[in-house]
Chain A
Amino acid sequence: MSSSGLGGDRGLFVYAVVRADHGLPDGVTGVDSSTLGLVPHGELAAVVSEVILQRPPGRRADLTAYSTVMEALLAGGAVAPILFGTVLPDEETLVAEVLMPREAELDRTLQDLEGRAQFNLRAQYVEEAVLAEIVAEDPEIQRLRDSTRDLPEDAAVGDRIRLGERVSRAWEHRARVDADYLLSQVLPLASAHTVRREPGPQAALDAALLVEDGRSQELQDQLEMLAAHAHGRLELTLLGPLPPYDFVGAF
């Protein structure tokens, strides 16, 4: 960045911390189509752009601009995302309050992220298939279902609640079992993982995996196989490679 002291009406939108020699992506602009710049400190640099503080209120385009910058940065090497919407007054503050005091931990983070990317894996149930399984496997559920299905909605409320509860429990149990199985199949291919949402009827698994670049194809192949197996019952979705949003939050 050329100007150091920004006027009082301007701030620095901070996207990420990268290595000082990390080039800026061509043709990618920041929020409000601003020009991206690097604020270096030692071997680190923060990726920033100037932003007018009293601008029109935040828009959806800001979220996509941030995300686009991050993905473009990922292509050029390790990137440690800064929480969306972080704005600092000027370069001096950025260096003195962030890059300098946190140099060691940021350096370690970039080391850990080098050559790796995040993949988000989601396994969602095909509802009818799972309900059919649950009904088929539990005679008590069958009984409750048979005794309530042809009654008007306000009848046999007690039985309906018992039915719903039993189905819900069975489903949650199933989700935990499925989540454990899926994780056991993919974790050997990942350097780290976080569970983004606990297993439940909505999704057996919603997890972020940090994967070495050299293993991402293997991960996809493995998931293709699992998806083919689970087809009709669980839908597997893999997003990525993504910037490692879920693997820098420890600070």
Chain B
Amino acid sequence: MTMTAHRSGSGYLNRPSPSSLADVVEIILDKGIVIDAYVRVSLVGIELLTIDARIVIASVDTYLRFAEATNRLDLSEQGGKDLPDFIHELQDKGAAGKVGGAVRGAKNALTGGGDDEDDEDDERPRRTRKSSSAPARRRSSSR
């Protein structure tokens, strides 16, 4: 991406470069000028790719809601799964397969975490994300 991360003034405004896949997906998905279907030809896998991307976004949303529900029900500090746990479970279920990496990306985007694990087909150099307040990553032990 061509833009540079840039901080000015007080520095409280986050100015990340949208380098994670989840950021890119969220920015471009379903956006742009639509050309009539009868004119287009289909490219193998593109439909699938956008469906996958939608699933990633939807899953993260859903798990966020669960996480919130948990917090709403239990305001004291006991029990409850936090978002990273939910995301790990999602990955462990393997439903994700190739979208797993994107879920990680989505989690990074959402939590500002710095645990970059990129998958193989993204060869572009990455910029480091700001990882100031990211909690230490916990591996879920349940399998």
Contacts and interface: CB of A to CB of B under 8 A. Distances in A.
Interface of A: 11, 13-14, 17, 51, 53-64, 66-68, 70-72, 74-75, 80-89, 93, 97-98, 106, 109, 120, 127, 131, 135, 145, 149, 153, 160, 163-164, 167-168, 201-202, 220-221, 223-228, 230-231, 235-242, 245-246, 248-249, 251
Contacts of B75: 131, 135, 145, 149
B12 A224 contact: yes
Contacts of A223: 13
B43 A53 contact: yes
Given A85-B46, A131-B71, A251-B34, A238 B21 contact: no
Contacts of B79: 153
A123 B32 CA distance: 24
A68 B1 contact: yes
Given A58-B43, A71-B3, A168-B72, A81 B10 contact: no
B64 A71 contact: no
Nearest to A231: B12
A26 to B, nearest CB: 12
Contacts of A62: 46, 49
B30 to A, nearest CB: 8
B64 A202 contact: yes
Contact of A58 (B35, B48, B61, B72): B48
Interface in B20-65: 21, 23-25, 27-36, 39-50, 53, 61, 64-65
B138 interface: no
B35 A86 contact: yes
Interface in B92-109: 101-102
Interface residues of B, number: 59
Contact of B27 (A13, A149, A242): A242
Nearest to B20: A64
A93 B39 contact: yes
Given A83-B33, A164-B69, A242-B27, 15 more contacts: A58-B45, A60-B49, A61-B122, A64-B122, A71-B3, A81-B28, A82-B35, A83-B35, A84-B46, A85-B50, A88-B40, A97-B39, A98-B35, A149-B75, A239-B27
B136 interface: no
A227 B86 CA distance: 29
B35 A63 contact: no
Contacts of B68: 127, 201-202
A202 B72 CA distance: 13
B43 A51 contact: yes
A63 B121 contact: no
